[in-house]
Structure 1
Amino acid sequence: MTSSEPLRILLIDNDCQRADLVRNALRKEGHEVISQRPDATGLTAAVARDEPDMVIIDMDLPDRDTLENMSTLNAHAPRPIVFFANEPGDRATIQAAVRAGVSAYVVDGLQPARVRSIIDTAVARFEAFQSLRNELAQTRTALEERKLVERAKGLIMKREGCDEDTAYGLLRSSAMDHSERLVVIAQRVIDMLAPGGSHGSQAGSEVKRVS
């Protein structure tokens, strides 16, 4: 998604006249309101059904239900969210909206002359946040996989009476032989040798096979 592309927008606004102003301002910038809802109830399901590129919410202040629905959306089907607040909110309210996934929080409602810059800012912030979130998820995954490999090495060292380098070499060779990721082999070893897994001669033969 780029801010220069026409966006398909889900609009939340319970004021028809105000919604028409928002719709017209967005249309002038090449964007399309594909769906309008009076409130954020069922927001995640609505996004799954309509597949908008962005969600715009125009209301006085974000209430508790709106914040909860935005948080759910941000967790399961994140989209850039622009919130046009028609009343000034305190710092805590704005922070709560940002934590719920709002990419741009605009006080005093929508002003047509600012639509383009607001949309651009929201998309840029959303993309930056998603990039950071993806990097964090990849880091966590890598850490968890490293823990599995380290545990598997420890089990092999104990079982086979070998050193760490040898245990790792056995894991790596098995991964190459089976055309599988190292962490898959590590999990297999853990399943066989960890307490509660396979024991005795069966476990011994399985370690030989896997390694």
Structure 2
Amino acid sequence: MNEALRIVVVAPDLAVADPDDEHAVEQAERSRALRIGLLENNFNLVATLPADVFLSERIAQLQPDLIIVDAESEARDALEHVVMATRDERRPIVMFTNDEDTSHVKDAVAAGVSAYIVAGLAPQRIRPILDVAMARFQHEQALRAELADAKTELRDRKTIDRAKGLLMQRQGLTEQAAYEKLRKTAMDKGLKLVDVAQRMLDVMDLLG
């Protein structure tokens, strides 16, 4: 479905300072397996980045379609960096972790994480997980757009109603006549009805 999907992985460095640190070795192997799984599933892994103060700039430069956060004990900090980096331009975020402490899953989802996967790195699971995450993100974006349109429509309607009310009050027009006057002015000037209404309100405010 998403062979051309451009993916950035946010993860710790694979280099392990202490080879006797079993946890660090295990985390590095898990992270390596994730990256290999992405490549095996024909995803376009454009970069692997650390969760640091430069993350926003790097993501802005790379313009990925999807961001994967691969973290364990530092999951909350890594996620905060990613959320900050995508607040101006939302992107689907998928989190892979072996940390079984799910106390912050609710906060992660509220922050925009499309999928939160615990111990789910089997290669055959990666594609369906990312496909579902993309579909969920697109659905949520469509709902946000619908909500924004509804809010704009309501605001515009209130503006037009206020302008009609002023015309009715000051010129003794009926509601229909006031609306027709606004509509004719908008057509004559090549403007939106709400823009004419707002300009009229601004002038009335200036004149008192």
**What is the TM-score normalised by the length of structure 1?**
0.84
Match of 2:121 in 1: 110
Of structures 1 and 2, the one with the larger relative CO (CA 8 A, separation 6+) is: 2
Match of 2:66 in 1: 54
Q: For the structure 1 residues 23 and 126, does the alpha-carbon distance in structure 2 shift closer, same or farther, using more than 3 Å as the test? A: same
Greater mean alpha carbon deviation, residues 107-116 or residues 141-150: 107-116
Distance in 1, matches of 2:67 and 2:123, equals 17
Shift of 1:6: 2.1
Distance 1:44 1:157 in 2: 52
Distance verdict in 2 for CA 1:77–1:190, change over 3 Å: same
Preserved CA contact (<8 Å) 2:51 2:82? no
Change (3 A) 1:111 1:10: same
Find the counterpart in structure 2 of residue 175 from structure 1.
186
CA distance in 2: counterparts of 1:70 and 1:152, whole angstroms: 44
Give the match's secondary structure for 2:7: strand
Match of 2:195 in 1: 184
What is residue 207 of structure 2 aligned with on the other side? 198
Size of the aligned set, in residue pairs, is: 194
1:5 deviates by 3.2
Residue 6 of structure 1 is matched in structure 2 by 4
- Contact 2:37–2:123 (CA under 8 A) maintained in structure 1: yes
Per the alignment, in what secondary structure is the counterpart of residue 77 of structure 1? coil
Displacement of 1:168 in angstroms is: 0.8
**Aligned residue in 1 for 2:111:** 100
RMSD in angstroms over aligned alpha carbons? 1.9
* Equivalent of residue 84 in structure 2, options 72, 77, 87: 72
Is contact 1:86-1:107 (8 Å) kept? yes
Q: 1:156 to 1:34 in 2, by over 3 A?
A: same
What SS does the aligned partner of 2:70 have? strand
Alpha-carbon separation, structure 1, partners of 2:198 and 2:4? 46
Between the aligned partners of 1:58 and 1:44, the Cα distance in structure 2 is: 17
Instruction: Answer whether contact 2:65 2:92 (CA < 8 A) is retained.
Output: yes
Q: Is the contact made by 1:40 and 1:65 (CA closer than 8 Å) also made in structure 2?
A: no
Q: Residue type matched to 1:49 in 2?
A: Q
Distance 1:109 1:39 in 2: 21
Return closer, same or farther for 1:136/1:73 CA change in 2, 3 Å cut-off. Answer: farther
TM superposition shift of 1:140 = 0.8
Q: Is the 8 A contact 2:5 2:44 kept in 1?
A: yes
Q: CA deviation at 1:87?
A: 0.9
* Cα distance change of structure 1 residues 95 and 168 upon mapping to structure 2, 3 Å threshold: same
Aligned counterparts, 1:2-151, within 5 A? 3-16=1-14, 17-18=28-29, 19-39=31-51, 41-61=53-73, 63-90=75-102, 92-151=103-162
- Aligned CA distance change for structure 1 residues 108 and 33 (closer, same or farther; 3 Å): same
Corresponding position of 1:207? none
Within 2, Cα distance between the matches of 1:173 and 1:62? 61
User: 1: distance between equivalents of 2:53 and 2:121?
Assistant: 22
Q: Which runs of 5+ in 1 are unaligned?
A: 200-211
Per the alignment, in what secondary structure is the counterpart of residue 39 of structure 1? coil
